[in-house]
Amino acid sequence: MPVISTAGLARTFQTKHGPVEAVRGIDLTVSPGEILGFLGPNGAGKTTTLRMLTTLLPPTGGAATVAGHDLARDPAGVRRKIGYVAQSGGVDPSVSVREELVTQGRLYRLGKAEAAARAEELATELDLTELLDRKCGALSGGQRRRLDIAMGLTHRPVVLFLDEPSTGLDPGSRADLWDLIRKLRADHAMTVFLTTHYLDEAEALADRLVIVDNGTVVAEGTAAALKAEYGGSPDATLQDAFIAITGRGAAQPDAAPLAV
């Protein structure tokens, strides 16, 4: 049974210039334990789709279930089962890593002792133990990203949504992050829904890629299958296939708050 399933998922924004169909009908399924790479050029609809699946934005059409909960009828049930790591992160630079993790546990209604124990557990798993008493503002980019992910794992979610997780990281930190994502899947059979504008990252991590453009799914498959079908030559890259599919270059981070 799919852990994520959508049928005709759509979102229309009402603007002063009239309606804008950001997502025109997304059909997709994600299997338990799968790492799905969700790709698309700017304005393709990937950010809006991600916001709908994480309950941050209500759909205006279609249907979806996430981790067994209906997106429209039971958004609270969805939130209990998912972790979401935003591109910008959300830690308080003035508090310690330990305080941030314990506070996150308390927000998920863990008791004080349980929240403290969960903080230690997450710190061990994500290599943050030596940083527990360091202020979040003093962390490197890679360390902050590990903390962001630790916070998203506090309640042991079934699905982890990662929005552009390696943006701004140096190559070494990116490689460490990739290893961490693989470890989460290997150790916990966790489903990972990954948006990224780095095609090498998508190819390295994802079991399957879904490419959206103009608010719909325009291609899906493994990186190898997409290169073979759309690349045009035996030596084709994923970038070649992406351009052939969308007519545009590799996706870039969405700049505007309401980018779709």
For residue 66, being part of any structural domain is answered with: yes
> Mind listing the pLDDT tens digit for each residue in 232-248?
888 999 999 999 999 87
With a cut of 70, say whether residue 26 has pLDDT above it: yes
Q: Give me the sign of the Cα torsion angle 197, 199, 200, 205.
A: positive
- Dist CA 197 CA 87 (whole Å): 12
Residue 257: which pLDDT band, with cuts at 50, 70 and 90?
A: very low
For residue 114, being part of any structural domain is answered with: yes
Mean pLDDT of 195-201: 93
For residue 252, being part of any structural domain is answered with: no
For residue 210, being part of any structural domain is answered with: yes
Contact indicator for 225, 192 with CB cutoff of 8 Å:
no
Residue 249: which pLDDT band, with cuts at 50, 70 and 90?
A: low
Number of folded domains in the chain? 1
Residue 24: which pLDDT band, with cuts at 50, 70 and 90?
A: very high
Please report, in angstroms and rounded to a whole number, the separation of the first and last CA atoms in the chain: 29
Least confident of 44-53, 87-96, 184-193, 209-218: 87-96
With a cut of 50, say whether residue 256 has pLDDT above it: no
**CB-neighbour burial class of residue 8 (10 A; exposed 0-12, middle 13-18, buried 19+):** middle
CATH number at residue 92: 3.40.50.300
Task: Say what the pTM is.
Answer: 0.91
At 38 the three-state DSSP class reads: strand
For residue 259, being part of any structural domain is answered with: no
For residue 20, being part of any structural domain is answered with: yes
Residue span of the structural domain in which 179 resides: 4-246
For residue 257, being part of any structural domain is answered with: no
Residue 169: which pLDDT band, with cuts at 50, 70 and 90?
A: confident
For residue 103, being part of any structural domain is answered with: yes
> Mind listing the pLDDT tens digit for each residue in 76-118?
999 999 999 988 777 899 999 999 999 999 999 999 999 999 9
